[in-house]
Amino acid sequence: MPKTISEINERIKKGEAVVVTAEEIIDLKEEKGVKKIVEEVDVVTTATFGPMCSSGAYFNIGHTKPKIKIGGGRAYLNDVPVYTGIAAMDIYIGATALPDDDPRNKIHPGEFRYGGGHVIEDLVSGKDVRLVVSAYGTDCYPRRTLETLINIKDINEAVLLNPRNAYQNYNVAVNTSGKTIYTYMGLLHPNMANATYCSSGQLSPLLNDPLYKTIGIGTRIFLGGGIGYVYFWGTQHNPGVPRTDKGVPRCPAGTLAVCGDLKQMNREFLRGVSMYGYGVTLAVGIGVPIPILNEEILEYTLIRDEDIYAPVVDYSEAYPYGKGEVLGEVNYKDLKSGKIVVQGKEIKTSGLSSYAKAREIAGILKDWILKGKFLLTQPVAPFPGHESGYKFRPLVERR
């Protein structure tokens, strides 16, 4: 019998809901079979934790006396420049922002020890952060400069607002050139000596709901240790890519845009990241509950690492020059084993996404639902699906 989200929520409120993680459901299928599970299980929790560059946070600092208009001026948090092109006391800090005096890659490879992602980690850790402002002054906002310590507990709003997170599948990176390269997929040794990947595979939210049947605009989620929401599909959302017969994309596809109250979050699930020779970013922990409304939705959540394929891409040539060439396909079971075989060559693998953290998050979200602290949501609107024709297009340059 198909279930509805409100029926599941009633069971959650009564403490009767049956909740398992996307890892546990796989074993449960072996034990009980699909027909039985669809009746018994209400929710499957999915999760991911990894560097997600399209992340950031906005803050309302509160007014000074006399007032200052940060909007249109310049501002820094711990020397990291923030976006000021909004109202007087609102600022946005992006995860990849760097201090003006960071040497970047001038001495290659740069270390990128501190940036926007680290400021966000420091704020959620409860540390004081130095705000420095220079403004142009107006009749209503006469003050021109401000230098003060701020703390997340004292400012008005602090909201994590990430335009693209939780990629549905991702490339496996290798380097076919003769020299070491430093990429957002990490250090890649020459002649395909190592490979890196970045997905939680069988635990990943959008790989457990590959056709966006339950995840959509408005979905309530675990975000950075607190509660957040999917506010839109993410940038570069690309649902029309090649898929397996079970609908699972064979390359990067859908994405989520998410937001949530930063004050509820914690550094266990929001961490500043330094990618040697590349830059800084923020690692974000996300957990998404999938309501088991019918057998079809259940079947999607039974996906295993060995059934999810990722393309192997050369980051010395094919990726930077947008050539679209793929050296082969490998599955996540092999990626997680520590070695893969590409074109007859055995290659050591490393993750960038933490499967251990993803397991932890899926477990926490399960616990929240079991305790009645987290209710499921019906999306307000669906995402563009695989047959919508919606796609990620390259830029056509014009003059």
Partner 1 sequence: MARIRVVLDFPKWLVEQPVTCRLIRDYDLEVNILKAKVTPREEGRLVIEVSGKKKSLDKGMDYLKDIGIRVTPLAQDINFQEDRCTHCTYCVSLCPVGAFDVDRGIMEVTFDKEKCILCEQCVKICPYKAIRIQF
- Cross-strand bridge partners of residue 339: 348
215 near 378, Cβ under 8 Å?
no
List the one residue out of 234, 221, 231 whose CA is nearest residue 264: 221
Q: Please report how close the Cβ of residue 254 comes to partner 1 at its closest, in angstroms.
A: 23
List the one residue out of 364, 381, 373 whose CA is nearest residue 288: 364
Please count the other Cβ atoms lying within 10 Å of the Cβ belonging to residue 396: 5
- Alpha carbon distance 349, 386 (integer Å): 30
C-alpha dihedral, 349 to 353 to 355 to 360, nearest 10°? 160
Which of 69, 237, 271, 366: binder of partner 1 (CB under 8 A)? 271
- Does the protein bind partner 1 through residue 49 (CB under 8 A)? yes
Hunting for tokens 């952060």 — which residue is that?
Answer: 129
Q: Please report how close the Cβ of residue 128 comes to partner 1 at its closest, in angstroms.
A: 20
- Alpha carbon distance 90, 248 (integer Å): 40
Q: Please report how close the Cβ of residue 269 comes to partner 1 at its closest, in angstroms.
A: 9
Hunting for tokens 């599909």 — which residue is that?
Answer: 233
- Alpha carbon distance 213, 255 (integer Å): 14
**What would you measure as the largest C-alpha separation in the chain, in angstroms?**
72
Number of residues engaging partner 1 in binding (CB under 8 A): 30
- Does the protein bind partner 1 through residue 283 (CB under 8 A)? yes
Nearer to partner 1, 170 or 212 (CB): 170
SS3 367: helix
Site stretch for partner 1 (CB under 8 A), options 141-149, 161-169, 270-278, 313-321? 270-278
- Alpha carbon distance 387, 220 (integer Å): 25
Q: Which residues are catalytic?
A: 140
- Does the protein bind partner 1 through residue 126 (CB under 8 A)? no
Site string for partner 1, 284-323 (x = CB under 8 A): ----------------------------------------
- Does the protein bind partner 1 through residue 380 (CB under 8 A)? no
Site stretch for partner 1 (CB under 8 A), options 160-168, 223-231, 269-277, 372-380? 269-277
Site stretch for partner 1 (CB under 8 A), options 11-19, 161-169, 251-259, 265-273? 265-273
- Does the protein bind partner 1 through residue 111 (CB under 8 A)? yes
- Alpha carbon distance 112, 104 (integer Å): 7
- Alpha carbon distance 22, 20 (integer Å): 7
Backbone angles phi, psi at 73, to 5 degrees: -100, -155
Which of 53, 248, 251, 273: binder of partner 1 (CB under 8 A)? 273
Q: Where are the alpha helices (DSSP H) in 226-304?
A: 295-301
Which of 13, 35, 104, 113: binder of partner 1 (CB under 8 A)? 113
Nearer to partner 1, 34 or 193 (CB): 193
- Joined together, the tokens standing for residue 206 give 């959008």
List the one residue out of 214, 210, 217 whose CA is nearest residue 241: 210
Nearer to partner 1, 162 or 377 (CB): 162
Hunting for tokens 């004081």 — which residue is that?
Answer: 128
Site string for partner 1, 179-218 (x = CB under 8 A): -------xx------x-x----------------------
Which of 51, 224, 225, 228: binder of partner 1 (CB under 8 A)? 51
Site string for partner 1, 319-358 (x = CB under 8 A): -----------------xxx---------xxxxxxxxxx-
- Does the protein bind partner 1 through residue 359 (CB under 8 A)? yes
Nearer to partner 1, 268 or 329 (CB): 268
Nearer to partner 1, 205 or 291 (CB): 205
Nearer to partner 1, 186 or 260 (CB): 186
Binding region for partner 1 (CB under 8 A): 49-51, 111, 113, 186-187, 194, 196, 271-276, 283, 336-338, 348-357, 359
